[in-house]
Structure 1
């Protein structure tokens, strides 16, 4: 199943899975049906992701492979070098999508977007987009980008209300891809989630992922290196949460629900 822009609704986020462990996690995920693998220059596992895909035997054009350029590499020349290094590590000719990992207030956004668009024009990225862009930055990026932006990848889980960013993505026909979809594990033991999971005979992780992908235009990137959990995380398309359950889960959001807080990032909650 895919999101509105045909990005697989569940992908593997193998952050912290490196070397042989990363290769194995990617290979297992593809065997379980995953067709979207997320990586980034910052994760230092692009080589493992590429090798896992090759070992799977799946044709490259059947896979979506995301990589991202780190916030310190957003000047045009540095951006291009980062993309070339990523492709060299992956041993691929292109990625899809290629994202700006975080906005950087100290580097002109227009310069970065032109470099991102160049990567697309030159065939190094089939789709392009951004990651961790709040509404104000997203609106600036959409207005300034010479090429359509297709994705915004952000932290999203029931503890964090992202309705403003979701609405902005929908307005611009962009997929919203949720990283940290399980709240770094903090939601697994939530009593309400556990109660709903028992009702459906599912795991808490499956309920959380179903809640995400049941929302229009949303895909999710659960992280795991465990074969059983990798399989469980994509097995969320044989049931649906009812409206009351969707609203109750959304009601878990709190003002301090954000987990990824970094000193250089824009002020998310006031953007």
Structure 2
């Protein structure tokens, strides 16, 4: 699978999202994904499934060096001591000596960005995480982190799909050679039933979800982490890599509404 090279890490462009998967269901899903060839698994302390993912990794037989594991610090744990404790807990649950990418899950109102990134950089320097990054940061926050603090950000993970325009954010990230990792890439299932995407899918012998994923993967510097618990859906998402979209398809997708944000908690930053 193609990888995005960022801050010394090879990030597989298609990974498995695990939000709202827990326990045996999560473990089985990760075991299935790894057996199918997935090598990028995304989790977070807030998901409550790191222990299940750790068990799946341990039983998979896949060499650790072939895997990319991302986890995240919740926005209540961004003070230095709290972040270190959260990181230690995540690593223990995952049964790992090191994660590949450790992210700030969401910005918080009272966060001390310099102290926060000093802590993250130390974790990287200690070899406990190979790279650090952020999720759900808007351009203003990114400018502070990248241009003032000069933190070595390996990605920004944000909601991105065919119904949400992220052109300004993508432009800033591209200028700084920072990948965008798209979560919710199928718009919480809505892409699968969109008439425009279904028409494109029929043309290519594909599914609407595969069209939506391939639209993302065709963009430079973009990775995607669709959630899928069933092996059939996991394989279908992998097969999206082989769909060939043309200019007519891209024009039709460009005509879809681009203002649909489905993840917007009360503590989200101002996006515009």
TM-score by length of 2: 0.95
What is the CA-CA distance between 1:227 and the residue it aligns to?
Answer: 1.0
Q: RMSD of the alignment, in Å?
A: 1.2
Q: Which runs of 5+ in 1 are unaligned?
A: none
> SS of 1:157's equivalent?
coil
Residue-pair matches, total: 268
Distance 2:242 2:56 in 1: 28
- Structure 2: distance between partners of 1:215 and 1:110: 32
Which runs of no fewer than 5 residues in structure 2 stay unpaired?
none
Q: Is the 8 A contact 1:3 1:217 kept in 2?
A: no
Q: Of the candidates 158, 172, 177, which is equivalent to residue 173 of structure 1?
A: 177
Residues 217, 241 of structure 2: 8 Å contact kept: no
Q: Give the distance between the partners of 2:210 and 2:125, measured in 1 at CA.
A: 38
Mapped partners of 1:100, 1:143: distance in 2: 17
Q: 1:4 is matched with which residue?
A: 4
Pairs within 5 Å for 1:1-271: 1-5=1-5, 6-145=10-149, 147-255=151-259, 257-268=260-271, 270=272
* Whole-angstrom distance in 1 between the partners of 2:40 and 2:98: 14
CA contact (8 A) 1:69 1:101 kept: yes
Query: CA contact under 8 A between 1:214 and 1:240: conserved in structure 2?
Result: no
Deviating more after overlay: 129-138 vs 231-240:
231-240
**The 10-residue stretch of structure 1 (32-41 or 236-245) with the greater mean CA deviation from structure 2:** 236-245
User: Is the CA contact (8 Å cut-off) linking 2:4 and 2:13 kept in structure 1?
Assistant: no
Structure 1 consecutive aligned stretches of length 4 or more whose deviation exceeds 6 Å:
none
For residues 212-232 of structure 1, give each alpha carbon's deviation from its aligned partner in whole angstroms, at most 9, with x where no partner exists.
Answer: 011001110111111100111
Describe the superposition over 1:216-261 as per-residue Cα deviations: whole angstroms up to 9, x where unpaired: 0111011111110011111122232112312321331333x11111
TM-score of the two chains, using structure 1 as the length reference: 0.95
1:95-133 per-residue CA deviation (whole Å, 9 max, x = no partner) reads 111100011121111111111111111111101100011
Per the alignment, do residues 149 and 30 of structure 1 end up closer, same or farther by CA in structure 2, a change over 3 Å counting? same
